[in-house]
């Protein structure tokens, strides 16, 4: 039998699938889960972080959410994998640019994606780090995964 008629064995694990298929699998799984429950940003950030890291554990080395502090000067660590970030970080650099512009920042081994609420306010920034370079396709898919957050109203940060 010639090589052109041989079929490849089916992929056994989501980690063996191309990136688009992995993102789509996450979206399908979470859409079903989130349809059955009231949308709560705290639970959703945790579930999304877990699913993304499990699907992309290789080549991703870390992923998590940064939540804007009430004073707007720094970000508090949110749900993250494989371990939470150790401390707050200043609202500067690429993460601050993602917050101000509302655009994803990709094209290197780190990607920053802003998370919007139903009033089109950025209330968090998602960060992923990888041993491979992120591209625009990664940014578009991650943004698509965050669409359900745009139905939740987040109150603007209040200074103490």
Q: What pLDDT band is residue 30 in, cutting at 50, 70 and 90? A: very high
Provide the β-strand partners of residue 80. Answer: 64
Query: What is the Cα–Cα distance from 35 to 30, expressed in whole angstroms?
Result: 8
Q: Please state whether 72 falls in left (phi above 0), alpha (psi between -120 and 50) or beta.
A: left
| Structural domains present in the chain | 17-151 (3.30.450.40)
Structure tokens at 128: 């992923």
Listing DSSP states for 105-136 in one string gives: B-SSSEEEEEEE-TTS-EEEEEEEEESS---H
Statement: residue 9 has pLDDT above 70 = no
pLDDT tens, position by position, 82-136: 999 999 999 999 999 999 999 999 879 999 999 999 999 999 999 999 999 999 9
């Amino acid at each position: 039998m010639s090589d052109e008629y041989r079929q490849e064995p089916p992929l056994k694990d989501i980690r063996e699938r191309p990136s688009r298929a992995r993102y789509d699998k996450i979206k399908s799984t979470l859409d079903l889960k989130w349809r059955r429950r009231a949308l709560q940003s705290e639970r959703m950030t945790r579930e999304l972080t877990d699913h993304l890291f499990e699907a992309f554990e290789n080549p991703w080395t870390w992923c998590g959410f940064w939540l804007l502090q009430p004073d707007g000067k720094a970000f508090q660590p949110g749900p993250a994998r494989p371990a939470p970030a150790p401390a707050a970080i200043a609202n500067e650099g690429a993460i601050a640019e993602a917050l101000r512009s509302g655009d994803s920042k990709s094209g290197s081994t780190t990607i920053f994606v802003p998370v919007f609420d139903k009033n089109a306010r950025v209330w968090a920034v998602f960060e992923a780090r990888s041993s491979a370079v992120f591209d625009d396709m990664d940014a578009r898919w991650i943004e698509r995964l965050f669409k359900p957050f745009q139905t939740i109203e987040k109150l603007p940060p209040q200074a103490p």
